[in-house]
C-alpha cells in the first residue's frame, strides 16, 4: 500500500493501453424471451461467477454477529425476492440461474451487491 500524498504528476502516456486490457464484446438480444437473453453469458462465465459469488458469501458470512443470519437470508429468502422484481429483470435473473446452475438467491446477491452494501 502507498498512502503518500498525490505527487502532482499527471499521467500523459497511458493511452493507447496494451492489447491485454481489451474486453470481449457480446450481444444481448432483447427480442428473445427474457429468460433466454443471458444464456451465452451464463454458460460461458458460470465458473467465474460461481467463484466470485462464493467469495462474496464468505465475506458476508464473516460479518460479526449477523453474518450467519445474513447467509441464512440469502440462502432461504433471496430466491423469493426474484419474482417480486419488475419485468424483464425477474425472468432474466431466473434464466441466468438456470443456465449457469447457480442458486437463484446467490444470483440475486451478486446483482444487488454493488448498491446494497454501500455502507
Partner 1 sequence: CTSIIAEDKNGELFHARNLDFGLFMGWDLKKNDWAITEALRPMIMNLDFQKNNKTVFKSASFAGYIGVLSGVKPGVISLTLNERFQLKGGFIGIIQWLLGQRTAKWSSFLTRDTLTSATSYQMAKTELSKTELLAPVYFILGGTKSKEGCVITRSLNKTDNIWEMSAAGGWYILETNYDHWLPPLFIDDRRTPATLCMNELTQNNLTMAGLYNVLSTKPVLNKLTTYTALMQAKSGSLETHIQKCPDPCWPW
Q: How far is the CB of 82 from partner 1 (least distance, A)?
A: 11
Q: How far is the CB of 108 from partner 1 (least distance, A)?
A: 10
Residue pair 51/81 in contact (Cβ under 8 Å)? The answer is no
Count other Cβ atoms within 10 Å, centred on residue 106: 22
**Which residue in 44, 19, 39, 43 sits closest to 29, CA to CA?**
39
Q: How far is the CB of 78 from partner 1 (least distance, A)?
A: 9
Q: Does position 76 bind partner 1 by CB under 8 A?
A: no
Q: Round to whole Å and give the CA distance between 40 and 27.
A: 9
Q: Round to whole Å and give the CA distance between 34 and 98.
A: 12
Q: Does position 82 bind partner 1 by CB under 8 A?
A: no
Helix ranges (H only) for 33-86 are 39-44, 46-61, 67-76, 78-81
Per-residue contact string for residues 14-53; x = within reach of partner 1 by CB under 8 A: xxxx--xxxxxxxxxxxx------x--xx-xx--xx-xx-
- Interface residues with partner 1 (CB under 8 A) are 1-3, 6, 8-17, 20-31, 38, 41-42, 44-45, 48-49, 51-52, 55-56, 58-59, 77, 81, 84-86, 89, 92-93, 96, 100, 107, 110-112, 114-119
Amino acid at each position: 500500500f502507498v498512502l503518500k500524498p498525490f505527487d502532482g504528476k499527471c499521467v500523459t502516456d497511458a493511452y493507447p493501453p496494451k492489447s491485454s486490457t481489451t474486453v470481449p464484446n457480446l450481444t444481448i438480444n432483447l427480442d428473445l424471451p427474457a429468460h433466454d437473453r443471458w444464456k451465452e453469458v451464463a454458460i460461458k462465465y458460470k465458473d467465474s461467477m460461481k467463484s466470485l459469488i462464493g467469495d462474496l458469501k464468505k465475506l458476508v458470512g464473516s460479518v460479526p454477529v449477523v453474518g450467519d443470519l445474513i447467509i441464512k437470508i440469502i440462502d432461504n429468502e433471496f430466491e423469493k425476492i426474484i419474482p417480486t422484481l419488475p419485468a424483464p429483470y425477474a425472468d432474466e435473473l431466473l434464466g441466468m440461474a438456470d443456465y449457469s446452475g447457480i442458486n437463484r438467491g446467490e444470483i440475486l446477491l451478486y446483482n444487488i451487491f454493488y448498491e446494497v452494501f454501500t455502507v
